Amino acid sequence: MRVRIIYFIGLLLSCVLQSSVVHAQDVHFSQPDVSPLTLNPALAGANASFQGIAMYRGQYGSFASPFSTFFASIDGRLTAALKNSNGVLGAGLVFFNDRMGDGYFTQSNIGFNFSYSLKVSRFSRVALGLNSTFGQCVTNPASGQWGSQYDGTAFNPTLPNGEPFYEQNFSYFDLGVGGVYSFQTDIGKITNEADKGFNVGFAAYHVNNPRYSFYNSSIQTLPIRYAGFVNANIGITATNGILQPAIYYQRQRKSNELLYGVSYKQIIRKASWETDNIKEIAFSLGIFSRLKDAIVVRSSIFYGPFSAGFAYDINVSRLSLVSNFKGGFETFVRYNLDNINRKKVRVN
């Protein structure tokens, strides 16, 4: 029973005291660059001719049944092989499953993303993207504990929960749009000057405000989520090191999230331009801050087309009173076809 009390205290603190930094409905990640299709649909095909990503996130496990999110995506370029073309079509498919606590609420989404990227100068591109998503939410009231089931002394599961659910699952369809501007010098292969580049993007998800309710209410809708980001790669001259600063901001109704920080990538061995057998080997370390919520420590390793990484949130909000500064963790694996050999590696 004590664990249950702490669990609800934690939820109350996270939803009320930290309402300024926590999303209302949408999932969020501490490594948003590794889940590009939840950040901006214009990023479909932006980072590789083909890439596949799988990610898992768990949180609140230090004081309650953990919340867990599984994410997977594939994306690539549909017209990358066309010569003498400044325009590139991209597409991507994304899936995630979000399970809350003891399982009384589960959300699953599958989304389709399409983008068109146009080269506007030697080093610059502009991309526009469209997202269409089918989502389903399922609840199991019997798995939860409700205030009406407290009999004055203890929790009594035989008492009715008093929640008039119209249905225990519902589906919805929504739309999102986004745009990205990219600048990349891409000249490190022919001079001693390190590559430099940056990306700026803005997106809006749920622009059609789909109905989002177990009570068949037309006034309960999924609010628009706005997402903006700026990230960069700055090669350090005469070294194999790269600085990767980034800022990510998202807003959904009255909920805000600001994530900012920097990673450092060290290339241990460069990929060969002559043979497929010598692949790039590298690692990166980074530290980020989610404003008024957590410090995020992250690390990744790279070997040819494969990369894997880990991030951990050190909770510094008022929720730390029950979490003991233990937040969420994320782990991912990624396959990037362009990193196999002799391809110019773009740092995201």
Residues 261, 287: contact at Cβ < 8 Å?
yes
Domain contains 11:
no
Averaged over 191-211, what is the pLDDT?
Answer: 84
Q: Identify the pLDDT of residue 201.
A: 97
Averaged over 87-114, what is the pLDDT?
Answer: 88
The domain that contains 102 carries what CATH number?
Answer: 2.40.160.40
Share of the chain above pLDDT 90, in %: 47
Mean pLDDT lowest for which of 33-37, 81-85, 144-148? Answer: 81-85
Q: Identify the pLDDT of residue 345.
A: 40
Domain contains 14:
no
pLDDT tens for 258-271 read: 999 999 999 998 87
Q: Identify the pLDDT of residue 9.
A: 37
Checking if the pLDDT of 117 tops 80, the result is yes
| Domain with 30 in it | 21-141+163-339
- One-letter identity of residue 124: S
Domain contains 156:
no
Mean pLDDT lowest for which of 47-51, 55-59, 152-156, 190-194? Answer: 190-194
Map residue 9 onto helix, strand or coil.
helix
The span from the CA of 136 to the CA of 129, in Å, is: 23
Question: Would the CA dihedral through 40, 254, 132, 335 be positive or negative?
Answer: positive
What average pLDDT is seen over the chain? 81
Question: Would the CA dihedral through 80, 109, 54, 261 be positive or negative?
Answer: positive
Residues 43, 36: contact at Cβ < 8 Å?
yes
Tell me whether residue 142 is exposed, middle or buried, using C-beta atoms within 10 angstroms of its C-beta: 0 to 12, 13 to 18, 19 or more: exposed
More confident site: 128 or 253? 128
The span from the CA of 198 to the CA of 205, in Å, is: 23
Domain contains 225:
yes
Checking if the pLDDT of 72 tops 50, the result is yes
Q: How confident is the model at residue 341 (pLDDT cuts 50, 70, 90)?
A: very low
Domain contains 147:
no
More confident site: 117 or 348? 117
Domain contains 10:
no
* Tokens standing for residue 319: 């929720």
Q: On the CB side of 204, how many CA atoms lie within 13 Å of its CA?
A: 6
With a threshold of 0.85, does the pTM exceed it?
no
Checking if the pLDDT of 11 tops 70, the result is no
Domain contains 348:
no
Residues 11, 55: contact at Cβ < 8 Å?
no
Checking if the pLDDT of 28 tops 60, the result is yes
Residue whose tokens read 């300024």: 20
Q: Looking at the 3D structure of the chain, how many domains does it have?
A: 1
Averaged over 267-278, what is the pLDDT?
Answer: 74
* Tokens standing for residue 40: 């901006």
Checking if the pLDDT of 4 tops 50, the result is no
How far out from the chain centre does Cα 293 lie? Answer: 17
Map residue 66 onto helix, strand or coil.
coil
- Other Cβ atoms closer than 10 A to 274: 8
